[in-house]
Amino acid sequence: MTKKIVVAITGASGTIYGLRLLEALAADPSVETHLVMSPWAKENLAVEATDYTEKTVRALAEVVYDDRDLGASIASGSFQHDGMVIVPASMKTVAAIATGLADNLIARAADVTLKERRPLLVVPRESPFNQIHLENMLKLARMGVEIIPPIPAFYNQPQTIDDLIDHNTMKLLDHLHLSNDYSRRWQGLAAAKQAARQEAFHA
């Protein structure tokens, strides 16, 4: 059975997190991806992900929407999907969702995802968080939103930036209930020590 996943990319730094998720979803034949990018996401694409163009990113999704199109299918609660991910999520978008300010398609799609009680994953990319950021995220968490900041793990012995990105992608796929082996998983302390010894031996 095909799963419909909505992916929104905002203007926060960390565009590559959204792109890697799109690539993972595109490789899964059981997933139909619906994509919306904010204007500043497109600007960041040119600055941060120089190996990608807007055309190549759009090609990773089955359906692509304009962020200004509040008449799009994903703006309605009657559009059934299996989860929405905002990655990366700017603090502006987090604030808009927390206050119900559905003034663009990303915020509106998130609003209807909440009201229909469907999974909503938010990947906030900001540091440090101020009190407003924290209060907005707490408000969303209390509504059932999954807040998944791209904080790296090191037990899996990452060797490259790609390893760190892949680990976050694995988490997002897990929370979308999509089986994957995108990154090394925790196998217990003994296995972690053995892996560390092997890495040191081959270094």
155 annotated to bind ligand? yes
Contact 121, 172 (CB under 8 A): yes
127 carries a ligand binding annotation: no
Number of residues in the chain: 203
Asked whether residue 183 is marked as a ligand-binding residue, the answer is no
- Round to whole Å and give the CA distance between 129 and 100: 21
- Please tell me whether 125 is known to bind a ligand: yes
Can you give the C-alpha Rg of the chain in angstroms?
Answer: 17
Say if residue 93 carries a ligand binding annotation: yes
Cα gap 143→137, rounded to integer Å: 10
How many other CB atoms sit within 10 Å of the CB of residue 153? 17
197 vs 51: CA distance, rounded Å? 35
Q: Is 118 annotated as a binding residue?
A: no
Annotated binding residue 193: no
Between the two ends of the chain, the Cα-to-Cα distance in Å is: 45
Binding residues: 11-13, 38, 90-93, 125, 155, 171
Binding residues for FMN: 11-13, 38, 90-93, 125
Binding residues for dimethylallyl phosphate: 155, 171
